[in-house]
Amino acid sequence: MIFILQRPTKPITIAPDYAALCDLVAERIAALVREKPGAVLGLATGSTPLGVYDRLVSAAQDNGLDFSGVTCFNLDEYFPMSADSPHSYHHFMQQNLFRRIRCRRWFVPDGAPRSEAEVAQSCLEYEAAIREVGGIDLQLLGIGRSGHIGFNEPGSPPDSRTRLVSLHQKTREDAAASFGGLSAVPAQAVSMGIGTILEAREILLMASGAGKAEIVRAAWTGESAESLPASWVRSHPNARLYLDTAAAQAFS
Ligand code: GLP
């Protein structure tokens, strides 16, 4: 059964488990693509959205959902990181989504090793590319244990734009297994800013599992603050939190 929790300032959709959570989020994205074939999607990495991507691939392959007019922008990339590295988010998105569906264009911030000035220039170009296609219609977000969205760690201002950022210790620890050790995890990343994210016309913030329960409750019930970047999402007029019951347990 799907619950809609009304008590916090904004409603929360709670699905019984991860599979049902992914069904709901994928259905919302598919509905937008059907309604607006030239939609612009903002996409996230991490394990949380993987089930959503599987469902979108099935919708395209089995049910003819047409992504050929859709443009996608990802939130972030490690720095320094070559796009063709198996650790890159570019590679992650290619493997999990873009080699399986045909969309019009897809972008991931460029983490190629180079000077800070060159990175700053490519960040401006990323923002310009988003503006050129008319902005993001729907932004999908996960949440990190530090409370980050994209790689906007605590301390990120709400008007921040795409830029080079330093990663929180918890974020690097969470990535350590996939890099084969903490020392191999980059200390920096290129991330869309909170201001960039909040300009999306719709935001879906999804979280799964008990490990996210406390941070999600804090983000959705306290004051919006730089110390908890995901808390800014609540100030967006068209944002919705999607949880499974394990991630929602701290609300009860
Ligand atoms: C990374 C990404 C975030 C993502 C987070 C959570 O840090 N940069 O965008 O939300 O991981 O990952 P997971 O979904 O695996 O918990």
Domains and CATH numbers, the chain: 3-251 (3.40.50.1360)
d(CA 159, CA 146): 19
Dist. CA 47 → ligand 1 center (Å): 7
d(CA 114, CA 94): 23
Tell me, in angstroms, the distance from the centre of ligand 1 to residue 142's CA: 6
Question: Cis link prior to 158 (omega < 30° from 0)?
Answer: no
CA geometry: angle 58, 17, 93, nearest 5 deg: 40
Nearest Cα neighbor of 74 from 117, 98, 118, 42 is 42
CA–CA gap between residue 165 and residue 216 (Å, rounded): 22
Give Cα separations from 114 to 78, 79, 111, 122, 168 (angstroms).
13, 9, 8, 11, 22
Q: Is 120 helix (H, G, I), strand (E, B) or coil?
A: helix
Per-residue pLDDT tens digits of the chain, which is 252 residues long: 776 665 556 789 999 999 999 999 999 999 999 999 999 999 999 999 999 999 999 999 999 999 999 999 999 999 999 999 999 999 999 999 999 999 999 999 999 999 999 999 999 999 999 999 999 999 999 999 999 999 999 999 999 999 999 999 999 999 999 999 999 999 999 999 999 999 999 999 999 999 999 999 999 998 899 999 999 999 999 999 999 999 999 997
Residue 49 CA, closest ligand 1 atom number: 14
* Ligand 1 proximity of 48 Cβ (cutoff 6 Å): yes
